[in-house]
């Protein structure tokens, strides 16, 4: 009972870190909710086409996370943003608990708690409501069910049926669905290397069925192959979440440095102890942990969005490895002091790294998040909208399907030439060509501090054919100077110098 009280306290502490307000300007959540709404209305174009854009509406697109959109819409429809955020938080806490309990028996309880606390800064690295949170949950379920099978607490038939059902949900929820077969392959390899014949056969059968389950998606074999083709699009038009950790250090980005440094230190700390143990006890005992650790670390170093997987497996690996290391302590008192020190370190770092004491737990949408869209609707603005990529998901949620967007943060539904040579390299000549082609009536862009975005904004503020009528820290709206917009411009036009002062 005492152990469960401590676990509950850790979960509450983690929940405080994760309970952040929903910011529709900074996340994909709005598009996911709209996906779910339209799919439940029978709009299947969402699954195969670039439905939300007027620039390339027929461009082929594989919606590999459509089921997450249905989940988000149902939760939002019945419980609002507060309810959706709370349900997602519960999913994250269950995921943490699955990993924590799965291998707690391989460690001492204080060490398991210590590394649970030490993992919190990395778990909270990306607290937004994202489909990858479901992938973390399914990874935890895979590990927990396989561990239960190995401990003879779950029959082989139940294991196969249960994981196949999870795999069908996973392949339609998030692109990381291949983690299911990968995790199973690692357990198969472990069973094979230890000559556990019955387990080896069960895992072989399970891998075969899991790959088959990956075909149960709206795009069939193409849906299965998405993880192997999607990186090409991100390489052509890289976003910050798909950059290497090393690139942020190289360019000295101030945004995520503390989390990246924390990740690298945690990785090195674990591997130093593994090296010490392997030299003494042999590599075979630790080879599975080494493989998992290096696969996830390499993935995280390649793309920062993959850091989220690392801390959950790091909890279990570190708890086991450090418990083994403590067997070499000279006295029980030394072990106890080490455990106390680790717990105190966990409390200190989880309360300082990637955590703001002024940020109180919050469920719901960020205050003022809807203001820009409400202005658009209140003034009954219409016509073709030009927008930047960052605000695309916000506009999809607020205005679709009545209004289409120029583009959004998805990479795959747009030709690489359009992204790289039209959007990324936009100059005044390109802008005027787009104006003539699409006859824009509204410019609706989010406020960015990149040199290209500021240059575009300044040029529009100096452009006599456009009038700024709405401005906040999140978004700016311009209207074309024409008879249609004249009454609104006369009433709401803002002085450009007042806007320029703020950046």
| Cβ atoms 303, 241 nearer than 8 A | yes
Owner of token pair 């778990």: 123
DSSP H or E segment with residue 4: helix 2-18
pLDDT at 256: 46
Distance CA 276, CA 286 (A): 11
Distance CA 109, CA 112 (A): 5
Distance CA 2, CA 16 (A): 21
Report residue 413 as tokens. Answer: 């539904």
Name beta bridge partners: 60. 49
Owner of token pair 């038939």: 157
DSSP labels, 148-164: HHHTTSS-HHHHHHHHH
Contacts of 324 (CB under 8 A, 6+ apart): 277, 281
Distance CA 145, CA 155 (A): 10
* pTM, full prediction: 0.91
DSSP H or E segment with residue 435: helix 428-438
Helices (H), 175-250: 179-193, 197-213, 221-236, 245-250
| Cβ atoms 189, 288 nearer than 8 A | yes
Question: Which whole-number Å values give the CA distances from 124 to 23, 133, 158, 496, in the listed order?
Answer: 16, 11, 33, 39
What are φ and ψ of residue 355, in 5° steps?
A: -145, 135
Report residue 311 as tokens. Answer: 């801390």
Distance CA 412, CA 206 (A): 32
Q: Which of the 8 DSSP states describes residue 129?
A: -
Determine whether 126 is exposed, middle or buried from the number of CB atoms within 10 Å of its CB (0-12, 13-18, 19+).
Answer: middle
Contacts of 112 (CB under 8 A, 6+ apart): 100, 103, 104, 315, 319
Name beta bridge partners: 468. 478
Cα 36–chain centre separation: 18
pLDDT at 330: 67
The one-digit pLDDT tens for each residue of the chain (503 residues) are 578 899 999 999 999 999 999 999 988 999 999 999 999 999 999 999 999 999 999 888 899 999 999 999 999 999 999 999 999 999 999 999 999 887 777 788 899 999 999 999 989 888 889 999 999 999 999 999 999 999 899 999 999 999 999 999 999 999 999 999 999 999 999 888 888 889 999 999 999 999 999 999 999 999 898 888 776 555 555 566 666 666 555 444 444 457 778 888 888 888 888 888 888 888 777 888 888 888 888 877 777 777 888 889 888 888 888 888 888 776 888 888 888 999 999 999 999 887 888 888 888 899 999 999 999 999 999 999 999 988 999 999 999 999 999 999 888 888 888 888 888 888 888 999 999 999 999 999 998 777 778 888 888 989 999 999 999 988 999 999 999 999 999 999 888 877 765 55
Directed axis angle between helix 332-350 and helix 109-123, to 10°?
Answer: 20
| Cβ atoms 384, 439 nearer than 8 A | yes
| Exposure on the CB side of residue 98, measured as CA atoms within 13 A | 21
pLDDT at 246: 60
Report residue 112 as tokens. Answer: 């398991």
DSSP H or E segment with residue 441: strand 440-446
Count of CB atoms within 10 A of residue 246's CB?
Answer: 12
DSSP H or E segment with residue 465: none
Entry field: residues in the chain: 503
Give the full edge-to-edge strand order of the sheet including 384-386: 384-386, 440-446, 475-480, 466-471
Distance CA 111, CA 126 (A): 25
Count of CB atoms within 10 A of residue 227's CB?
Answer: 15
Tell me whether strands 384-386 and 440-446 are parallel, antiparallel or unpaired.
parallel
Distance CA 295, CA 421 (A): 35
Name beta bridge partners: 386. 443
Q: Which of the 8 DSSP states describes residue 366?
A: P
| Cβ atoms 478, 443 nearer than 8 A | yes
| Exposure on the CB side of residue 395, measured as CA atoms within 13 A | 28
Short-list 21, 70, 25, CA closest to 408: 25
Report residue 499 as tokens. Answer: 């806007």
pLDDT at 251: 44
Contacts of 329 (CB under 8 A, 6+ apart): 335, 338
Short-list 124, 268, 284, CA closest to 189: 284
Cα 247–chain centre separation: 19
Report residue 292 as tokens. Answer: 């998992």
Report residue 148 as tokens. Answer: 């239960």
Owner of token pair 């996911």: 32
């Amino acid at each position: 009972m005492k152990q469960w009280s401590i676990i509950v306290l850790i979960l509450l502490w983690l929940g405080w870190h994760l309970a952040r307000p929903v910011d529709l300007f900074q996340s994909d959540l709005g598009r996911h909710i709209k996906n779910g709404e339209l799919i439940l209305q029978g709009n299947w174009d969402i699954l195969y086409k670039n439905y939300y854009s007027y620039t390339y509406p027929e461009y082929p697109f594989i919606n590999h996370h459509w089921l997450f959109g249905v989940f988000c819409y149902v939760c939002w429809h019945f419980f609002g943003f507060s309810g959706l955020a709370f349900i997602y938080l519960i999913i994250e806490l269950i995921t943490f608990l699955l990993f924590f309990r799965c291998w707690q028996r391989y460690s001492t309880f204080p060490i398991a708690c210590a590394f649970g606390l030490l993992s919190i800064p990395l778990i909270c690295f990306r607290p937004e409501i994202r489909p990858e949170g479901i992938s973390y949950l399914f990874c935890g379920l895979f590990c927990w069910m396989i561990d239960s099978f190995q401990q003879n607490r779950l029959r082989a038939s139940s294991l196969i049926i249960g994981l196949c059902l999870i795999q069908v949900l996973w392949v339609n929820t998030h692109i990381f669905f291949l983690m299911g077969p990968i995790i199973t392959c690692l357990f198969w390899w472990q069973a094979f290397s230890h000559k556990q014949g019955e387990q080896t056969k069960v895992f072989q059968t399970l891998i075969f069925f899991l790959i088959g389950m990956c075909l149960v998606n709206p795009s069939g074999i193409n849906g299965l192959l998405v993880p192997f083709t999607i990186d090409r699009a991100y390489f052509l038009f890289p976003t910050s979440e798909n950059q290497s950790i090393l690139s942020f250090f190289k360019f000295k980005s101030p945004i995520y440095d503390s989390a990246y440094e924390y990740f690298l230190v945690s990785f090195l700390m674990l591997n130093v102890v593994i090296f010490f143990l392997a030299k003494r006890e042999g590599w075979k005992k630790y080879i599975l942990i080494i493989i998992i650790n290096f696969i996830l670390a390499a993935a995280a170093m390649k793309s920062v969005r993959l850091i989220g997987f690392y801390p959950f497996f790091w909890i279990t690996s570190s708890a086991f490895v450090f418990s083994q290391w403590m067997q070499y302590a000279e006295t029980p008192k030394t072990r106890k002091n080490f455990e106390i020190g680790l717990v105190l370190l966990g409390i200190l770092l989880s309360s300082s790294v990637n955590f703001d004491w002024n940020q109180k737990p919050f469920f719901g949408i960020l205050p003022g998040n809807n203001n820009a869209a409400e202005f658009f609707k209140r003034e009954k603005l219409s016509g073709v909208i030009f927008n930047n990529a960052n605000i695309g998901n916000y506009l999809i949620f607020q205005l679709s399907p009545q209004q289409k967007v120029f583009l959004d943060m998805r990479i795959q539904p747009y030709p690489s030439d359009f992204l790289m040579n039209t959007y990324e390299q936009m100059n005044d000549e390109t802008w005027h060509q787009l104006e003539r082609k699409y006859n824009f009536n509204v410019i609706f862009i989010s406020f960015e501090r990149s040199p290209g975005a500021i240059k575009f904004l300044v040029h529009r503020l100096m452009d006599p054919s456009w009038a700024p009528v709405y401005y906040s820290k999140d978004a700016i709206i311009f209207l074309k100077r024409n008879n249609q917009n004249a009454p609104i411009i006369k009433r709401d036009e803002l002085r450009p110098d007042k806007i320029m002062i703020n950046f």
